[in-house]
């Protein structure tokens, strides 16, 4: 994965638990989207890359947000 990412001009970001939790909270509060922690980590990573200037404001970015909390309805 790293070889393909770097060979195509991509990059990685490592996020802390706090960054991941903040991203998940932001999505829930501001967008009404309940996502799993992996999806929140992806958003936190994109935010980190943007803060470092590796993603510029005019660039389109796709972050796959999946895996919301289970509410028990599926088990009923």
Q: Tens digit of pLDDT for each residue in 3-12?
A: 998 899 888 8
Residue 47, in any domain of the structure: yes
Residue 76, in any domain of the structure: no
Residue 43, in any domain of the structure: yes
Cα-based torsion angle of the residue sequence 53, 55, 57, 60 in order, rounded to the nearest 10 degrees: 180
Residue 75, in any domain of the structure: no
**Whether the predicted model's global pTM rises above the 0.85 cut:** no
Residue 60, in any domain of the structure: yes
3-state class of 46 per DSSP? Answer: helix
Residue 35, in any domain of the structure: yes
Residue 41, in any domain of the structure: yes
The yes-or-no verdict on residue 76 having pLDDT over 70 is no
Residue 52, in any domain of the structure: yes
Give the domain extent around 56: 2-69
Number of compact structural domains in the chain: 1
């Amino acid at each position: 994965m790293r070889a393909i990412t770097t060979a195509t001009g991509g990059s990685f970001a490592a996020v802390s638990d706090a960054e991941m939790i903040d991203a998940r909270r932001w999505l829930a509060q501001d967008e009404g989207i309940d996502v799993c922690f992996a999806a929140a980590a992806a958003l936190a990573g994109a935010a980190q890359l943007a803060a470092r200037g590796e993603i510029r404001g005019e660039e389109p970015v796709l972050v796959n947000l999946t895996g919301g909390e289970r509410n028990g309805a599926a088990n009923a």
